[in-house]
Structure 1
């Protein structure tokens, strides 16, 4: 992968459009991104990552604030990157999601994220470009062969990440390596084994539970459980043998007791037959004795029944006489009611009544012809009322339309003025926006100015203090160095011996050896002073840079504010905002006011047409009401005469017809009363005749002999029962079966019954025991067959589970796994070992052969899993020590070597994609001049291999060593880029 061209617009601190030509920057294979702190050096790396993956490294991605805060609202935030991957050149363009001001109205709207991929040349496989975010992401990841996390660790070597990795715990290091080497598939293998073991364990447990249930069932059925030291199969065979013996014994007992029961039952049947004959003789003799004692009462029942059987004809005649009397009473009552309703004399002749009814009907027929006129009269009156209501409503509507027609010219004039006001407000609002934006920024600068001034003065003071401290440290170093040089001759003189050559000049004579000095200085003292001087120099540079930055901030704010005060700016801004709100309120109503004016202009003709229509309708309604009123008055005179004292003609006619009907019903009631009186007299005579014919002296005697049906049935049934008992008793005593049987004889049935009961119970118990023994033997045999089959099925399942469980333990770092390393940890340990070997070559060169990485697969403390240990071998001491013991500069060398080694291994792991471009972000400030030379030599080797290496640093010495530099300048309006050589 090689980067060619990068464009950023309104991205991070870059407000305007910025362009980076990586081909020009990387012509020497090595270039530097430098600039003030916060100027946007790392943002350029973020832009590369965002163009490729739509994300930026670290916590900056969580903030979701990629757009430049000072960018113009109309400028679109985007990043464009041209690169070559696997021989194909392509162009990537992305825009993040961000909030922008609405073009109309207040508030903000969401600008959606976009992405596109364009092939600049022959596309692989004839593919077309992509415009969907997910399609672009899949294509980039497929071409690069690495995920976004791997890219951030392999191509963009971030600030401090590998120093943390170097000192990380096993768990933290494992988490990073998993992301880089994508070992999820090995975790899936571990999980597959665990899940498979769990699944097979459930199957084994299910079959084992089935076996346990079958064993428990056999124990329950047989009543016997296996001993703790007894094999279950031998226990099952013993159960089968015991069952056969028990079955044979119970069957023999059942046969013997069955014979005894049959003999006892035969004896009991014989005694029961004799007992039944004696009982029957005793019952017959008792019945005959009881019937003889009740003979007189039975005769009275026969006489009562005979008299009751002669009463029915008399009852029929009596019922007919009662019905005739009831009809007569009803007819007399109806006649009295008819007389009262007709309001006539009860003795009025019938002919006169018929004539009066005819007169009423003739009068009703005479006024019936006026009924249609009465109905029309009511309809016309309702119509007159409806017309009056319509006329009143139309008159109100006419007045309202006339008033609206009069007011229309003034309303149209006002509406036109409102439309012009809204248009002017919109024009003024556009010119007011830029002034508001400028004034807002100026006010913010005025408010920040005092704090910026204080920060600048404080930073200047700290910078002066740092300069003084650095000067003191330099003076101390020079003093110690001079004192040490002065004392070196004395040190050499102390090592001379008479007659032995001098280690400096070789002479055996020492005419004037040096003398010791007061307060000698050693190499350690000088080294400590140099270290402190370097630290003071670093603090001096940082303080000076901070003083320059704060002074620039203060000067920019002062230039922005000028002679204006914060209060005056705030007052002016408040006034402009109030004016903007008023203008926006008027401008927003332009559409509404335009529609209102159009509506008023159209309504003039509409109101004129409505007035003409309603006035024509009023004239028609008034003429119709006048004509109807005249007709109603003339018809009312005729109707008043015809209805008389009644409410209407219909009511008077109904009254006359009702009177005629009442008179008719009176005549009919008289005829009905006369017929009922004659019939009642006839029925009374028939009743007396029926009583004499039935053999009774009078009607009253016949009624006294009357009995109900229940009593008659009772007498009939009782007499039939008496005859039946007598006949049955005599027949029984006369039968041949009971001949010679004495009713007083002793039977002896209880003894035979008790013997049969005892024999039957014993036989039933023996049958139950035989049945239970047979059922138990059959159940045990069936369960034993199922249990043997379950044992046969369980054996291979248990063997397979044991094998799978042992293998799963090994894969997950347990059981027979001596190193206690899971498969995933083993793969990561192998990858880490490759990284350690690759990184050691660079670390040995950078440290002049002193340090190299040592990978350890030993288990951790308290039995924790191992495999990811990473220490350093110190060639000076020959001992392996933890990476945490390295100094700051040594840690940077180790971290950089580790990062480069990891990048090589990950690149090879992800498919061998050649990574021609590499970025290293910060960390060079911890190195001294000699060590920096070694690091630069290592970086030269990288570019000698064809790579382009971009360094991100603010260290001044780096600028002197690298010929091509990209300078990031930070200003109030946003950062800019410039190439320096």
Structure 2
């Protein structure tokens, strides 16, 4: 990082300052000088704040704002710097109170970061626009955080020796960042994960291979053959040979089973044929019995049904004539009844018409009176309009009288209010507070808030977070430890279960072999022909054997899983313990930082806070002070607001008094004008009486018109209805004549049919009963047809069975069933033999494929695992006597380069050959976590000692040597962070003249290829260094910057 330009606005003592660091390229070093308190360190604070949002000291972000800045003047820092091939511009503003468009408001912190093409040039790319995002981007660009920046590039006053005296862990964090060695840590982590997985897979493969060789699939004799075979020959010669033997046994069993199955199928076919023949003999007997019972025995009943059917069908030909006669008689009666009703209705209509004519004549006598009322209605609207005008004007007079009284009362009330508010305004103006005291209190509270939010609160949060993480890691570590006994027990239980199920499988296979033994035949295992234990064996089904084999496989899988889980858990316990110890150390470091910051807080803001840090109590105390201040401010604002409101109110009251007086005069004039208009109208009768008269006349005329219209309408309707009745009467008389003729003709035809010689009855009543039995007719038809169809089907079925059985005898089904059962049992025995042989072959094939697969995988992964193990041992210090891991080894190497360069170029020269840097002995053996501590070797005493024992001046030259050497080594490292600048704030006052001269020579040497800035008030340095940035006080807390080259 190389600074290019810095612009300040209302930052610290600077109202405005533009610093171009390109002015200091003529000489290798430049001096920042000026009066004490002028703001020399503020230049470094500004760069630190622009990059990280924090200063080099204890000042919070809010405190960088100039004390003399007003609400119209904004505090802002703009910093240009180079990193790599890019020029960056970062702009940052703290939280501050500024004037908005209408009122004063608090403005939140602002920040932005961009790549530009020059100072004050065009923005090429925006990288971030929020403070948080800017901080993340800066950390990524510089590869340093704020604390590391202060230890490497910008060495603050009284803080420049921190890297020299930091612990190994703190040095490790810094060196990792600036040399970019995180890649080694990441590599180690990934390598470790990969090694654990590979090792577990290799061990698992070896265990699985041994499990398959010792599987209960193999008989004890087969296991002995496998065990005796050479490792290279076990699969292809021994296991493959055993598999071939089982395949041949399976083929023999399948052939025997096929022969037994063919015999069973032949006997089963004979049995099925016999069963069919027996069913046919039984069917013939059943059909013959049905023919006797349902046909021959019911012949007489069937003849009676046919006679009854003949009667009903004969009666059907008379049905239409009888129905026609019945319908004509019913129509004749209905029409005669309707004729009587119409004749009566016609007489009633004639009477009603006569009555309506008389009423109409009586109504026409009122026609003259109605004409008079119509004339009266034409005059009334004009009279009513004038009466309403008069009434409206009188109402307006009454309303105006009320308004007049109201205006008079309001005028009096407004005058009283004006006197009262004038007194209150004078009293409020006396109680308004002085704002200068409130402004001073606000500055103090802002500083306190900035310190709490910027330092105490984040540091307390870091402590809480680190402690929480440590407790979580401890809980997880103990949780893993608590799980270990249970997992061990589960592993041992799984091991016992595998052993027990393997014993059961061996016993079941022995029992299955015993079932196949035949007395006098050789045993396939031992060859003996005598089998004394065969009858005592338990009969085992194929299903039981297959279930047990699957159970053994499942138990073996459970055993393998528990073994793997146990290995992973033990590895996790060790890893969690290491993580817990590291997290606990981080918590202690955060706690030390918090304690130091709290002491600074107590020193600045008084002793009202407890000696023991309590963030809640601090925030509560701050809140109480802030609430008190805000209450005072609020009260003052309220008093000022009330006074302003009263002044506005008085102005409004004056305006209201003038308006009320105007309204009063206007209302009086209005009343006089309305009274004159009423007199001109000269109205005698009110509008309500006239409107009532108008309504009564309208009702009489309307009633007359409606009554007249109703009488004429009703008379027309009655005359029309009478004409309608007379037409209907004439039609009915003609219909009755036609119906009489139909009855006479149809009755004659029916009598002729009943009197015929072939008639089944001569009685009309009997014929009517036969006609009404229509449902009986349908049922008789159905029953007769069903009987004849059933008779034909039975005759046909009996004939067919008699023809097919004419040359057959009844079969012996008992004998056939016995032969069938014997053949089924023989086939099942052979099927059992096939299943056992098939299971044995499948198990052997499964074991063969599993062994083959494992050996194939091992062949591919064995060499890779061995190479990985060698790499793992080397990276984690497990080879030889060196126990140092890769990252620490690399960092020690870098530190040794730094110390060697410092010894060769700086410390020897600056200490007159007295001191040399070296690593402590416990760091040299590379077996200690103090591997990055730094000692000095004292050539005068011949002993090595800690840098903590150096005096103030010696500490300065030692820290300066480390800082300069670190800068040079990093600059020359291909992976290091480029360090193109170095700023040192004071410290030279502790050096004697000779050492100061040597220090200046050293700074000039390294300044040849980087920017070196020094803050000092020493006169010798002012006289020696030509390039200077001079800070001068101008009074009133202000300073100016001047470049002197």
For 1:460, the equivalent position in structure 2 comes to none
Change in Cα spacing, 1:755 to 1:162, as seen in structure 2 (3 Å) is farther
For 1:155, the equivalent position in structure 2 comes to 153
- Confirm or deny that 1:243 pairs with 2:311: no
For 2:171, the equivalent position in structure 1 comes to 173
Q: Cα offset for 1:45?
A: 0.9
Q: Cα offset for 1:242?
A: 0.8
What do residues 452-477 of structure 1 show as CA deviations (whole Å, max 9, x unaligned)? xxxxxxxxxxxxxxxxxxxxxxxxxx
What do residues 937-969 of structure 1 show as CA deviations (whole Å, max 9, x unaligned)? 324321255467544468999999999784565
Q: Cα offset for 1:844?
A: 3.9
For 2:766, the equivalent position in structure 1 comes to 701
Q: Cα offset for 1:280?
A: 2.0
CA contact (8 A) 2:116 2:125 kept: no
Out of 59, 67, 70, the residue aligned to residue 68 of structure 2 is: 70
> Where in structure 1 are there 5+ consecutive unaligned residues?
364-383, 404-436, 450-545, 547-567, 588-629
CA contact (8 A) 1:251 1:770 kept: no
How far, CA to CA, are the matches of 1:32 and 1:856 in structure 2? Answer: 38
How far, CA to CA, are the matches of 1:191 and 1:111 in structure 2? Answer: 39
CA contact (8 A) 1:162 1:898 kept: no
For 2:792, the equivalent position in structure 1 comes to 724
How far, CA to CA, are the matches of 1:825 and 1:266 in structure 2? Answer: 92
User: SS in structure 2 opposite 1:720?
Assistant: helix
For 1:300, the equivalent position in structure 2 comes to 304
What do residues 664-695 of structure 1 show as CA deviations (whole Å, max 9, x unaligned)? 66766676677667667776776777777762
Q: Cα offset for 1:758?
A: 1.0
Change in Cα spacing, 1:943 to 1:725, as seen in structure 2 (3 Å) is closer
Larger deviation, residues 154-163 vs 13-22: 13-22
Q: TM-score normalized by structure 1?
A: 0.56
Change in Cα spacing, 1:82 to 1:669, as seen in structure 2 (3 Å) is same
User: SS in structure 2 opposite 1:31?
Assistant: strand
How far, CA to CA, are the matches of 2:280 and 2:330 in structure 1? Answer: 65
What do residues 546-603 of structure 1 show as CA deviations (whole Å, max 9, x unaligned)? 9xxxxxxxxxxxxxxxxxxxxx99999987676678899999xxxxxxxxxxxxxxxx
Equivalent runs, 1:206-221 vs 2, <5 Å: none
User: SS in structure 2 opposite 1:71?
Assistant: coil
How far, CA to CA, are the matches of 1:666 and 1:680 in structure 2? Answer: 22
What do residues 327-373 of structure 1 show as CA deviations (whole Å, max 9, x unaligned)? 66776787688779xx4349x9xxx99xx9xx99xx9xxxxxxxxxx
Give the aligned length. Answer: 727
Out of 85, 93, 98, the residue aligned to residue 96 of structure 1 is: 93
- Confirm or deny that 1:898 pairs with 2:962: yes
CA contact (8 A) 1:6 1:20 kept: yes
What do residues 155-187 of structure 1 show as CA deviations (whole Å, max 9, x unaligned)? 312356664433444433222222222334445
Q: Cα offset for 1:972?
A: 5.0
For 1:853, the equivalent position in structure 2 comes to 917
How far, CA to CA, are the matches of 1:857 and 1:266 in structure 2? Answer: 104
What do residues 611-645 of structure 1 show as CA deviations (whole Å, max 9, x unaligned)? xxxxxxxxxxxxxxxxxxx9xx99x9899758735
User: SS in structure 2 opposite 1:836?
Assistant: helix
Equivalent runs, 1:109-188 vs 2, <5 Å: 129-130=122-123, 134=127, 152-159=150-157, 163-187=161-185
For 1:942, the equivalent position in structure 2 comes to 1003
> Where in structure 2 are there 5+ consecutive unaligned residues?
228-233, 361-380, 401-431, 445-603, 605-631, 652-693
Q: Cα offset for 1:112?
A: 6.1
Equivalent runs, 1:551-562 vs 2, <5 Å: none
For 2:708, the equivalent position in structure 1 comes to 644
User: SS in structure 2 opposite 1:644?
Assistant: helix
Equivalent runs, 1:325-474 vs 2, <5 Å: 343-345=345-347, 440-441=435-436, 444=439
What do residues 694-715 of structure 1 show as CA deviations (whole Å, max 9, x unaligned)? 6245454345552446623542
Q: Cα offset for 1:826?
A: 3.7
- Confirm or deny that 1:255 pairs with 2:259: yes
Equivalent runs, 1:508-657 vs 2, <5 Å: 641=705, 644=708, 646=710
Change in Cα spacing, 1:949 to 1:718, as seen in structure 2 (3 Å) is closer
How far, CA to CA, are the matches of 1:714 and 1:57 in structure 2? Answer: 117
How far, CA to CA, are the matches of 1:772 and 1:101 in structure 2? Answer: 96
What do residues 104-151 of structure 1 show as CA deviations (whole Å, max 9, x unaligned)? 344356796577888789x9xxxx74376539999x999x98767676
- Confirm or deny that 1:15 pairs with 2:79: no
Q: Cα offset for 1:244?
A: 3.1
User: SS in structure 2 opposite 1:134?
Assistant: strand
CA contact (8 A) 1:852 1:873 kept: yes
How far, CA to CA, are the matches of 1:768 and 1:877 in structure 2? Answer: 100
Change in Cα spacing, 1:700 to 1:95, as seen in structure 2 (3 Å) is same
Out of 715, 726, 731, the residue aligned to residue 783 of structure 2 is: 715
For 2:584, the equivalent position in structure 1 comes to none
CA contact (8 A) 1:291 1:726 kept: no
Equivalent runs, 1:824-863 vs 2, <5 Å: 824-841=887-904, 842-855=906-919
- Confirm or deny that 1:107 pairs with 2:86: no
How far, CA to CA, are the matches of 2:864 and 2:976 in structure 1? Answer: 41
Change in Cα spacing, 1:296 to 1:87, as seen in structure 2 (3 Å) is closer
How far, CA to CA, are the matches of 2:342 and 2:1036 in structure 1? Answer: 121
User: SS in structure 2 opposite 1:68?
Assistant: coil
Q: Cα offset for 1:839?
A: 3.0
- Confirm or deny that 1:794 pairs with 2:794: no
Equivalent runs, 1:726-741 vs 2, <5 Å: 727-728=795-796, 731=799, 735=802, 737-739=804-806
Cα RMSD after superposing both structures: 6.8
CA contact (8 A) 2:93 2:111 kept: yes
Q: Cα offset for 1:245?
A: 1.6
Q: Cα offset for 1:312?
A: 3.5
For 2:44, the equivalent position in structure 1 comes to 45
What do residues 851-883 of structure 1 show as CA deviations (whole Å, max 9, x unaligned)? 433247978999887754444445456555555
